[in-house]
Structure 1
């Protein structure tokens, strides 16, 4: 059932077994899984069914660190959450990402990749992906070309899958609406977490519309699933009973903010006749849409003290008509509208898509023109490629989200985002490019021109808008906000869901792991609630 707190007098209270705050991939996956297990779920969304500027304004904040990032436009406060912005790249984190590493301070989860594998497999369906297969060997026999002939003990071909991308608002709206065990409320903004007096138990949460209509939610267990920035902001603002904020006894909430550094710099020039057909384009095979890149072998990552990174080859054609640099939010919105209209339907979130197109009309026009010309232009295969990656950062406690004095319309303090880009992370990426270049040279198939100087310039790095780490998972409450079950260490019935719980970011886009962790949390809560 879906209700709207703005419609009519608010109920005196809302009651369920589990209260989930947030309707992005984490919140919706968790709610549906708990309902399957017979639990009554209260699902709260601060925004409405579509984009609304007054709700979106609550995400506005300051950027005080690296400035190639923003605090508002990169996320959506509406039903379906930021899955409305998501571009669909998926891969699980690697076993290496979960391991403690002596050479990388603060590295390592209290769970392993093997612990998550069963939940990764179940998450595939939520994201409209193919089978849970991400090893190149699983796909090699079905692919139309051979991989680059590199030493696999040094550099191997990495596999990602591409979601359509799944828009949770579109795919799961009817399932939430028709589920008698899910009580979903729109425009229900969390404004207070109330602990039972003198205890470590959440008794209730207060929710409010922007106009001031207010009610109380009671449940046995509460889960906050509002994203890597907002999860921290909510805990830091909950100071009525704990002066530093709930869960912040060790000054960890908001720390360890990590993102993926989107960088496209170094250039690979392949010799004439080298078959690169597998890499620059997505390939439909075996029920999945694959994107293939290059990755350093984990043994070499450990030995050279590198971060974990995947490198994708971006073709540099002689003619710009084959460049895809127009593929951004405006183009994605335009493509979504076009595909929906072609099926005889009006797109969901039409006004939002229209605004995205208008805001980036130049890129859309460029894309339309290039697609039209490609149909009649001679085919072109590039031999020169840029290396692009969403590069990993080492965990950094000084990269963080903090509160500022300015308050939003609900009375919550807004945030300052101090995203730190370190020379060490950039130098590790440079060394990664050197390893790839050496492997290409050793195979006699080309050469690589390093694009990251020995004195790195942080201006080359842009945010991947993958907000992670601000309520990180760790067995020790002095090193993390939540435990291995995503429960806040200092509160017995409060859990965090989503990428804020990541201890490391790895190099995989986070949505698959977010969904897997939500399914895992549902299984845990079904036993304890």
Structure 2
């Protein structure tokens, strides 16, 4: 059942087993998984079925740290959440990502990769991916082209899978609407949390249209994204002056993103390098694969390096096959073209239109090159740039803060103080040096290092992957939530999504977000049965 709060009148509290705030990939997965286990769910979403300017404006805030990011356009406040504009690239976190690493301060999850593997299997289905296989050995004999002949003791082949990408608003609207155990309420903004002793008694919601709603449940989950999860806890100060869960000044800290950059290049020594495996999506055994290069875990442990997958962006003799036109204007142009091809108006149409107009020259170049590629050969690959979403180390000074400006509900807006450390770039430079050693040892050429020493701290852009602001740790002095995603200081309040990540790895976070949601559903359905009988 789907209800619009602006068309819903009741003076009574809505009561259910589990209350979930946020209908993005985490919230929708959690709701469907709980319903499948026989639990009644109330799923509340700030937005409607599609993009709305007034609702989206609730995300407005400031950037006061590293400038190559934003706090508004990178997120979508509507049913389906930011899956409405994600690119679909997926991989699980590596086992090393969960470890406490000597060279990475503040690292170490309280769970391991094996704890998530069964739920990764579930997440594959939600994201319309192929089989849960990410080891190169599982795919090697199924690939149409050979991998570069690099010593696997020096450099490994990384496997990612490509989701269509799954748009949760399109794919899961009907399953939510038809499910008798789920009541989904749109235009419902969380505006207050009432605590009694060390537990939530109820949540208060309001719409921009002035309607209000109270929800009581046995367990409560906030699944509103890596920035908004922290903002909600920090704004709830009536009963806990520092904010809920912020007894040790951890909420909002350890904000991480991936370092999105195209830096460094492999310069090939020979004319006949075959890069077909790296410059396109490979369809194999029911999966769409993308292939990159990464260092072995043993090397990362020994050298104290952060995780990184480098994808190769070939540069061919024929300039028509160069993708240097792909900037913000081209992304906006592509977004509009895809939307119109589906017979709908693009989200954020005015913003995308302005981006495209401002970058009209690059769009013209891109359109011309796409046409020419049908008629001319690419020629030989002369180089391959290294494109990556590199891991950022957890840093308590990188954080989400409240500012004095308020939204229409009287909640303070946020400032994002994203801080990248020089050691993060040093790790990436050393990773490229290690790749260069493997390339040289194989006689393929050499690697041109694109990171200076000291590094340019303005080198990377946001990956739009907001992580870490309600991090997971067994100790309440080092994390906001425990290994089951429950706040240490509130017995029945849980967080879902990438805000609970302790480290970010190099994998795009959506697959892990969905896996963690499936794991949380298992915990809520089996471990808090008594609470849910209200």
Question: Where on the TM-score scale, by shorter chain, does this alignment land: which range?
Answer: over 0.9
Structure 2 Cα separation of the partners of residues 297 and 487 of structure 1: 33
Match runs of 1:147-226 below 5 Å:
147-196=147-196, 199-226=197-224
**CA-to-partner distance for each residue in 1:357-386, whole Å, 9 max, x for gaps?**
523433655444332221122344423111
**CA-to-partner distance for each residue in 1:239-290, whole Å, 9 max, x for gaps?**
0110100000010000000000101111111122122221121111111111
CA contact (8 A) 2:45 2:185 kept: yes
In the other structure, the counterpart of 1:343 is none
Residue 352 in 1 paired to residue 347 in 2? Answer: yes
Where 2:316 maps in the other structure, the secondary structure is coil
Over 3 Å counting, the alpha-carbon distance change for 1:428 and 1:270 in structure 2 is: same
Instruction: For residue 195 of structure 1, report the CA deviation from its aligned partner.
Output: 0.6
CA contact (8 A) 1:92 1:120 kept: yes
In the other structure, the counterpart of 1:372 is 371
Structure 2 Cα separation of the partners of residues 81 and 320 of structure 1: 38
In the other structure, the counterpart of 1:310 is 309
Match runs of 1:446-485 below 5 Å:
446-485=445-484
Instruction: For residue 160 of structure 1, report the CA deviation from its aligned partner.
Output: 0.4
Structure 2 Cα separation of the partners of residues 517 and 441 of structure 1: 40
In the other structure, the counterpart of 1:114 is 114
CA contact (8 A) 2:321 2:378 kept: no
In the other structure, the counterpart of 1:42 is 42
Q: Decide which moves more: 374-383 or 19-28.
A: 374-383
In the other structure, the counterpart of 2:92 is 92
In the other structure, the counterpart of 2:278 is 279
Structure 2 Cα separation of the partners of residues 249 and 98 of structure 1: 25
Where 1:56 maps in the other structure, the secondary structure is helix
Structure 1 Cα separation of the partners of residues 33 and 417 of structure 2: 35
In the other structure, the counterpart of 1:491 is 490
Where 1:32 maps in the other structure, the secondary structure is helix
Structure 2 Cα separation of the partners of residues 105 and 354 of structure 1: 42
Structure 1 Cα separation of the partners of residues 171 and 350 of structure 2: 22
CA contact (8 A) 2:101 2:304 kept: no
Residue 82 in 1 paired to residue 82 in 2? Answer: yes
CA contact (8 A) 1:316 1:384 kept: yes
Structure 1 Cα separation of the partners of residues 227 and 176 of structure 2: 25
Where 2:198 maps in the other structure, the secondary structure is coil
Structure 2 Cα separation of the partners of residues 310 and 393 of structure 1: 13
Where 1:69 maps in the other structure, the secondary structure is coil
In angstroms, what is the RMSD of aligned CA positions? 1.5
Residue 441 in 1 paired to residue 443 in 2? Answer: no
Structure 2 Cα separation of the partners of residues 97 and 415 of structure 1: 29
TM-score, normalised relative to structure 1: 0.96
Structure 2 Cα separation of the partners of residues 39 and 291 of structure 1: 38
Q: Decide which moves more: 254-263 or 12-21.
A: 12-21
Structure 1 Cα separation of the partners of residues 351 and 143 of structure 2: 36
Over 3 Å counting, the alpha-carbon distance change for 1:9 and 1:364 in structure 2 is: farther
Where 1:438 maps in the other structure, the secondary structure is helix
Over 3 Å counting, the alpha-carbon distance change for 1:75 and 1:381 in structure 2 is: farther
**CA-to-partner distance for each residue in 1:449-471, whole Å, 9 max, x for gaps?**
11001110011111101000000
Structure 2 Cα separation of the partners of residues 360 and 177 of structure 1: 35
Structure 1 Cα separation of the partners of residues 338 and 365 of structure 2: 17
Structure 1 Cα separation of the partners of residues 420 and 461 of structure 2: 10
CA contact (8 A) 2:273 2:381 kept: no
Structure 1 gap segments, 5+ residues each: 341-345
CA contact (8 A) 2:254 2:398 kept: yes
TM-score, normalised relative to structure 2: 0.95
In the other structure, the counterpart of 2:234 is 236
Match runs of 1:50-89 below 5 Å:
50-89=50-89
Over 3 Å counting, the alpha-carbon distance change for 1:332 and 1:482 in structure 2 is: farther
Over 3 Å counting, the alpha-carbon distance change for 1:358 and 1:84 in structure 2 is: same
CA contact (8 A) 1:472 1:480 kept: yes
CA contact (8 A) 2:317 2:380 kept: no
Give the alignment partner of residue 332 of structure 2, picking from 323, 330, 333: 330
Residue 31 in 1 paired to residue 31 in 2? Answer: yes
In the other structure, the counterpart of 2:16 is 16
In the other structure, the counterpart of 1:424 is 423
Structure 2 gap segments, 5+ residues each: 530-534
